[in-house]
Structures are given as C-alpha cells and as structure tokens.
Amino acid sequence: MPLEFDIVRWLEETYAVEIRSRSDWLEVFERELDENLANGVIGLKSVLAYHRPIRFEKVSFKDAAIAFQKALKERTEKCVYGDKSLVLPKVVQDYVMHHILSVANERGVFVQFHTGLLEGNRRMLSNSNPELLENLFLKYPGVKFDLFHIGYPYWGVTAALARTYPNVFIDMCWSHIISPISSRNALSDFLDAGPFNKISGFGGDYAIVEAIYGHLKMARENIARVLEEKISEKTITLSKAMKIAERLLHDNPKEILLNNL
C-alpha cells in the first residue's frame, strides 16, 4: 500500500467515524462487510501469506487493544514525515483474523486462503503452508475454508486436511498452470484420499478472459486424463467418472461457495 494512502482517514471519512481504538477499527470492518454483502459479495479472501506466516494465534482483548493503540501512536508520529500508513503488529493481525472468522461464522460467509506457491520470486514459501491454518479449522467449524492453489507444493497436506476437517475444501485454481503434471498427480490423490464433493477442479485466477479460457481448457484435459486413468485401472466406472467430472467443474464450486445464498 503506498505511503500517501491514509487508510485510517479514508475509513473515517467514508463511514463518518473516528478510529481511536481497536474496537472502532473492528466496528468499521463489520459495517464495511455488511455493506459489501448487501451489494453482492459472497465471501472473503486472505492473501496474507504474501506478507507473513498464516498461523494466527488466539490473542487476548487487552493485548490486542494495547498493541493497536501503540500502532496508532506510531502512525501519528510518522505523519509528520508524510508516511500515513498504519502498520499493525502481528498480535493485532492475529486478533483481527479471529474476529473476522467469528463474524464470518455468524454471517454464513466462506473464507478463501491463499496457500502454497506465491507469485513472483524470492517469496517465503513456508509462510503459505496450509497446515499452519489447522487451529482455525478446529476453532471455527461453521466456517467453510476454501484452500487455494491446492497448497502447491504442499498438496499432500491439503488432501489430508480436507479429509480430516469437514469445513476444509480444495480449490484447484491456478494449479493447472503452475504444473499440469503435479495437478494431475494431486487430483488423483485427492480422489483416492477423500470425498470428491470437496474439490473445485478449476478456478481461472486471471483478469484476462482469454487466459481464463486457456486455463479452463487445461483443467478439463487434466481432469479427463486422471479420470481416464482410473477407468483403465478399474478404480471407477465410466458413469462414475462422468459424475465426478460434473461435480469438479460445476456442482462442487456451486455448493461450496453459493449454497448459503
């Protein structure tokens, strides 16, 4: 976020409030969430793996409040030099994530997490290991967790998590582009290790429509090859394979992401 963008001032002006405490910050979050839900938003997504490990510890109200006040004070001091950014320490980030998930549970909102490979070079891959989220799966059983990118290269962990926790789902967005052969191997493992109604077989993850079409074509070919192999092995029948394909490319994403609407 650029230094000249003042998130605190923007929120205060947008919602006619004064942000002076952690409670003010969270109140504005809930107002903004409800406003977006009313305008058609159906879920939340976290990309914090690009900035920190995705392990979010439980933090006390007091510790989070003290740390937030310190962050506000530091922001005020930096404003003298033109830096209006608000830098929240990990203890506050952890508290806020737990609050977000509590609210998501109340509103029936699913949450998507970036897991696995990070775009660009020199990124800390271990920050995005989906296993780091396990305490959240346990604490918020009413929240659907949609794990992006099969957690590549941690897709074995992703398979085990989806098998272990009823509220954890596998999203194959981006994975067919990252590595077609790994995606096929992962999908074959997913189908053997857990129920196939927990897998979304495709997600464009692109802003360019032509690239989305290309990725969809790759996903269809990968899914067809995996299912053909299982038919040849007599693991499944042709009719079962057709049912699985329909689930992966249509029914599962619809049920996982839209059935609360």
Confidence of residue 126 (pLDDT cuts 50, 70, 90): very high
Per residue in 199-251, pLDDT tens?
999 997 888 899 999 999 999 999 999 999 999 999 999 999 999 999 999 99
Residue 9 has pLDDT above 70, yes or no: yes
Query: In whole angstroms, what is the distance from residue 127 CA to residue 214 CA?
Result: 29
The pLDDT score that the predictor gives to residue 29 is 94
pLDDT at 1 over 70: no
**pTM confidence score:** 0.93
Lowest average pLDDT, out of 1-15, 94-108, 113-127, goes to 1-15
* pLDDT 10s digits, 16-28: 999 999 999 999 9
Structure-token pair, residue 184: 């096929």
Contact between 88 and 51 under an 8 Å Cβ cutoff? The reply is: no
Distance in Å from the first CA to the final CA of the chain: 32
The total of other beta-carbon atoms located within 10 Å of residue 202's CB is 24
Q: Which pLDDT score is estimated for 83?
A: 85
Domains of the chain: 1-42+56-107 (no CATH), 108-261 (3.20.20.140)
Tell me how far apart the alpha carbons of residues 11 and 15 are, in angstroms, rounded to a whole number. 6
Give per-residue pLDDT as tens, 66-98: 999 999 999 988 887 888 888 999 999 999 999
Q: How far apart are CA 177 and CA 218, in angstroms?
A: 8
Residues whose CB is less than 8 angstroms from the CB of residue 245 and which lie 6 or more positions away in sequence, other chains included: 201, 223, 224, 227
Q: Quick one: pLDDT at residue 112?
A: 97
**Residue 127 DSSP label:** G
Distances (CA, A) of 207 to 1, 204, 210, 211: 20, 8, 9, 8
Specify whether the CB–CB gap between 112 and 146 falls below 8 A: yes
d(CA 136, CA 145): 9
pLDDT-based confidence at 261, cuts 50/70/90?
low
Q: In whole angstroms, what is the distance from residue 128 CA to residue 157 CA?
A: 12
Neighbouring residues of 133: CB distance < 8 A, sequence distance ≥ 6: 54, 55, 56, 113, 115, 145, 147, 161
Q: What is the pLDDT of residue 4?
A: 54
Q: CA–CA separation, 225 vs 26, rounded Å?
A: 47
Interatomic CA distance for residues 52 and 235, integer angstroms: 41
